[in-house]
Amino acid sequence: MRTWKACLAAAALTAAATTGATTVITTGALAQDKEITLCWAAWDPANALVELSKDFTAETGISMKFEFVPWTNFADRFLNELNSGGKLCDLLIGDSQWIGGSATYGHYVKLNEFFDKEGISMDDFLPATVYAYSTWPKGAPEYWALPAMGDALGWVYRKDWFAKPELQSAFKAKHGRDLAPPKTWTELKEVAEFFQGREIDGKTVYGAAIFTERGSEGITMGVTSALYSWGFQYQNPEKPYDMKGFVNSADAVEGLEFYKTIYECCTPPGYSDSYMVANLDAYKSGQVAMMMNWFAFFPGLAKDEAVGGDKTGFFVNPGQKIEASTLGGQGISVVSYSDKKDLALQYIKWFAKPDVQKKWWSLGGYSCHTAVLGDPDFAKTAPFAADFLKAMSGVQDFWQEPTYAELMQAMQKRVHDYVVADKGTAQEALDKLIEDWTVTFEDDGKL
């Protein structure tokens, strides 16, 4: 998901990204009339896309230019570009929350006619990703993007620590079960408490690294990973924008309270403003037994010199009353202000091919195509592949309304105030959140 303006970068960004600069990469011939620019965030999957796109240039003669911006500046840069009608980007891999505004305000080209003409079927992509990355209004057969980069929140754990005989014995004596990746949030708390403050290899370690960041979207992404597992819903399925009894249901309150208990019992000291990079740092430095983060970072972790290989295992977001995961990822869209929409559409057509999608996965991108995800051997292609597939089959996403930034800011404040700042109760936090969201929807003419 990683939305609006301040999502943090992966640890292994390029030097340009680290310093806040735009990374500009050009491949292929330099004939300007046969060159298109693709805009995205600066991170490892973008580097994989550069490599993949060399095949596009070889096949079509259309050269590619890439504008990659660090996550910290990503939304500000490209939403400003869209809102100003700029022509920098011919193609844009934008966040799922941008679909509503970009469709409503005419930033993206509607792709239905093109898909029909070229025989591109949305049935060839995982339904959850089509719903999340491509449609507006939600679920309607109106498509503004092709699913490009599947992602969801998942978990990693210190497999080598879990396997220690003395820890296995101690955990089983206390809980009557093996020390293993948790399947529920209740089990996750038991495991996190078990490791909290324990000495391993001469070093004090902690239970879990979770999202608590206030400034952009971090704590919302973390909190919803628990809320969804308790059956949280944003609105009445039968009555849009009817939120009372759903956002603040008894189950939602219980899920929010449980997330706070994880924060209080089992995180490293001072862990009050953490998101992607902070969690990666805590895990790689050997501070925590478990970490929540986006699947997009898992290939790098699997290869990491300090914690990769047999030291790290992966598990899907724990269930509780239901099984669900917080959505990440993006779709790829043609920008309506581009003077080269015909060339950009050629890229969409090429990228949708099953063989291209298979190579995309092999290079480190997260394909959403059923030719990849539906392969009987897919689960064997990476140590986290099976969990990724399971997660993507049960993802849920934040509001995709044109006003999503205001909606996000409100939730960030309410849940951070409760979980981290210890203000009020979970019930009060969710009641106030409904009040905030009601004002936003009233101002937007939805209520």
Tens of pLDDT along 145-177?
999 999 999 999 999 999 999 999 999 999 999
pTM of the model: 0.91
What b/e sequence results for 41-55 when a residue is b if at least 16 CB atoms lie within 10 Å of its CB, and e otherwise?
bbbbbbbbbbebbee
Same CATH fold, 153-326 and 15-152+328-396?
yes
**Rg of the chain (C-alpha set):** 22
* Rounded average pLDDT over 191-202: 97
Q: Return d(Cα 111, Cα 117) in angstroms, integer.
A: 10
Comparing CA positions, the residue from 390, 404, 336, 325 lying closest to residue 108 is: 336
Pairwise CA distance, residues 76 & 69, whole Å: 10
pLDDT value at residue 377: 95
The residue ranges of every structural domain in the chain are: 15-152+328-396, 153-326
- Average pLDDT over every residue of 224-240: 97
**pLDDT recorded at residue 367:** 97
pLDDT surpasses 60 at 398: yes
* Whole-number percent of the chain with pLDDT over 70: 93
Helix (H) or strand (E) holding 243: none
Calpha distance 339→336 (Å, rounded) = 8
The answer to whether 428 and 260 have CB atoms below 8 angstroms apart is no
Burial group, residue 173, by CB count within 10 angstroms (0-12, 13-18, 19+): exposed
The Cα–Cα gap between 172 and 175 comes to 5
End-to-end CA distance of the chain: 26
Please give the pLDDT value at position 54.
Answer: 98
Q: Which residue has the higher pLDDT, 374 or 24?
A: 374
37 pLDDT more than 80: yes
Return the structure tokens found at 327. 């959505």
Distance between CA atoms of residues 412 and 4, nearest Å: 12
Mean pLDDT (whole number) for 333-361: 98
What is the predicted pLDDT for the residue at 4? 36
pLDDT mean over 36-48? 94
Q: Higher confidence at residue 18 or residue 253?
A: 253
CATH 3.10.580.10 for domain 153-326: no
In which band, very low, low, confident or very high, does the pLDDT at 73 lie, cut at 50, 70 and 90?
A: confident
> Is the CB of residue 391 less than 8 Å from the CB of residue 154?
yes
Q: CATH says 15-152+328-396 is which class?
A: alpha beta
